[in-house]
């Protein structure tokens, strides 16, 4: 028998996936102590062979990760044989190599932790670099939410839209969206100062008069990357400018920064729950689980 557990960050997503798969859903009792330590409790000791744990690790990432490790470790202790872990927003994925000598490669360390604790299968959504999952020792897969974003964009009234990737890393996402919408796409060049974190985007001489623009990225953190591109697009005559991404972390004044730069709409998924979630990733996660686990 397979059962699904939603961690404290993904109770709704977890139960939606369980409904789609027609599987029993376990609700954990959880609370946070005054000193910020997490407490969790399974309703009873589970004895199933297969467990699917859903826990998105958006900020506070470390807390979400610790909660996930507690759940996995406890499930192993109860005797669960196969641990299938779904982390819709996989944290620390951007530090996937040693950019400067001596740096920690956080992405690899997260993979090692999950493997060591007993993870058999890891699913995530739009991992920052899909390639980096190959370093993980357990079977790992990134599911693309781009077709879902494209379907939502189709339902919006957009005039002769052009899809823009803010950097080369997001070019594949822009291509996926533009091939579904049958529109043009282009990508910008971005430089990030590895010490200050400041982002610079090279200007492009484009004519966007009479066009709406969709800027697509895997994630929006401080909104700086999107704001840079939006300002350039505005100067090139763009009308409506939509920011679309899979994971909208929206740190600090990200929304204000993007609005000030000319962004009219923000479209995102529920890998990070917030007011801009227009799309649920439950269907694509459920479909992928169906392919990998004998249900
Ligand atoms: C990095 O390459 C990512 O794909 C995003 O472009 C980046 O993380 C966005 O960060 P921010 O919103 O802080 O500019």
Query: What are 40-65's pLDDT values in tens digits?
Result: 999 999 988 999 999 999 999 999 99
Domain containing residue 59: 2-145+280-292
- Average pLDDT, stretch 177-201? 94
DSSP 123-142: EEES-SSGGGGGGSSSEEEE
Query: Is 94 part of any domain?
Result: yes
Tell whether 152 and 195 lie within a shared domain: yes
List residues bridging with 292 in a β-sheet: none
Ligand 1 atom 10: residue of nearest CA: 221
Tell whether 258 and 207 lie within a shared domain: yes
Query: Is 82 part of any domain?
Result: yes
pLDDT at 117 over 90: yes
Tell whether 137 and 202 lie within a shared domain: no
Query: Is 217 part of any domain?
Result: yes
Residues near ligand 1 (Cβ within 6 A): 94, 166-167, 169-170, 199, 217-225
- What is the chain's mean pLDDT, rounded? 97
The CATH code of the domain that includes 246 is 3.40.50.2020
Ligand 1 atom having least distance to the Cα of 199 = 14
By the 8 A CB rule, do 175 and 184 touch? Answer: no
Residue 103 C-alpha to ligand 1 middle, in angstroms? 19
Residue 201 C-alpha to ligand 1 middle, in angstroms? 12
Tell whether 12 and 132 lie within a shared domain: yes
pLDDT at 34 (0 to 100): 98
Residue 199 C-alpha to ligand 1 middle, in angstroms? 9
Q: How many domains does the chain have?
A: 2
- Average pLDDT, stretch 118-134? 97
Ligand 1 atom 5: residue of nearest CA: 219
By the 8 A CB rule, do 234 and 201 touch? Answer: no
Ligand 1 atom 2: residue of nearest CA: 169
- Average pLDDT, stretch 208-216? 97
pLDDT at 60 (0 to 100): 97
Query: Is 85 part of any domain?
Result: yes
- Average pLDDT, stretch 27-51? 95
From 217, 244, 250, 266, give the residue whose CB has the most ligand 1 atoms within 8 Å, as the site to mutate. Answer: 217
- Average pLDDT, stretch 173-195? 96
pLDDT at 294 over 90: no
pLDDT at 173 (0 to 100): 98
Query: Is 275 part of any domain?
Result: no
By the 8 A CB rule, do 77 and 45 touch? Answer: no
Tell whether 155 and 229 lie within a shared domain: yes
pLDDT at 47 (0 to 100): 87
pLDDT at 126 (0 to 100): 98
Q: Beta-carbon neighbour count of residue 15 at 10 Å?
A: 17
Query: Is 194 part of any domain?
Result: yes
pLDDT at 295 (0 to 100): 83
pLDDT at 108 over 90: yes
pLDDT at 19 (0 to 100): 98
Ligand 1 atom 3: residue of nearest CA: 219
Query: What are 58-98's pLDDT values in tens digits?
Result: 999 999 999 999 999 999 999 999 999 999 999 999 999 99
- Average pLDDT, stretch 144-148? 98
Give the tokens for residue 100. 């400067």
Residue 219 C-alpha to ligand 1 middle, in angstroms? 6
Q: Which residues are catalytic?
A: 190
Tell whether 31 and 81 lie within a shared domain: yes
Query: What are 228-284's pLDDT values in tens digits?
Result: 999 999 999 999 999 999 999 999 999 999 999 999 999 999 999 999 999 999 999
Q: Beta-carbon neighbour count of residue 14 at 10 Å?
A: 26
Tell whether 7 and 141 lie within a shared domain: yes
Tell whether 264 and 287 lie within a shared domain: no
pLDDT at 205 (0 to 100): 86
Tell whether 67 and 187 lie within a shared domain: no
pLDDT at 48 (0 to 100): 85
Sign of CA dihedral 152, 155, 156, 162: positive
Tell whether 61 and 154 lie within a shared domain: no
Query: Is 46 part of any domain?
Result: yes
Tell whether 150 and 138 lie within a shared domain: no
Ligand 1 atom having least distance to the Cα of 227 = 14
Tell whether 85 and 173 lie within a shared domain: no
pLDDT at 99 (0 to 100): 94
């Amino acid at each position: 028998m397979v059962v699904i557990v939603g961690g404290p960050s993904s109770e709704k997503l977890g139960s939606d996936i369980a409904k789609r798969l027609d599987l029993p859903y376990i609700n954990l009792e959880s609370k946070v102590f005054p000193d910020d330590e997490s407490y969790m409790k399974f309703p009873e000791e589970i004895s199933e062979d297969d467990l699917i744990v859903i826990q998105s690790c958006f900020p506070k990432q470390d807390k979400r990760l610790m909660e996930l490790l507690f759940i996995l470790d406890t499930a192993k202790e109860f005797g669960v044989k196969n641990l299938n872990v779904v982390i819709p927003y996989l944290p620390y994925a951007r530090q996937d190599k040693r950019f400067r000598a001596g740096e920690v490669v956080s992405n690899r360390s997260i993979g090692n932790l999950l493997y060591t604790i007993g993870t058999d299968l890891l699913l995530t959504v739009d991992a920052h670099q899909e390639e980096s999952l190959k370093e993980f020792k357990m079977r790992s897969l990134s599911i693309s939410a781009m077709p879902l974003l494209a379907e939502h964009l189709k339902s919006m009234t957009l005039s002769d839209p052009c899809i823009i990737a803010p950097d080369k890393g997001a070019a594949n996402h822009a291509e996926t969206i533009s091939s579904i919408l049958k529109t043009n796409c282009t990508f910008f060049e971005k430089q990030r100062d590895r010490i200050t974190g400041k982002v610079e985007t090279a200007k492009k001489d484009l004519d966007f008069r009479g066009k709406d623009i969709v800027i697509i990225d895997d994630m929006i953190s401080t909104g700086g990357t999107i704001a840079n591109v939006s300002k350039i697009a505005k100067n090139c005559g763009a009308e409506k400018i939509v920011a679309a991404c899979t994971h909208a972390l929206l740190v600090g004044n990200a929304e204000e920064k993007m609005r000030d730069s000319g962004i009219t709409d923000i479209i995102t998924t529920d890998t990070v729950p917030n007011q801009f979630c227009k799309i649920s990733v439950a269907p694509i996660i459920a479909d992928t689980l169906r392919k990998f686990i004998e249900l």
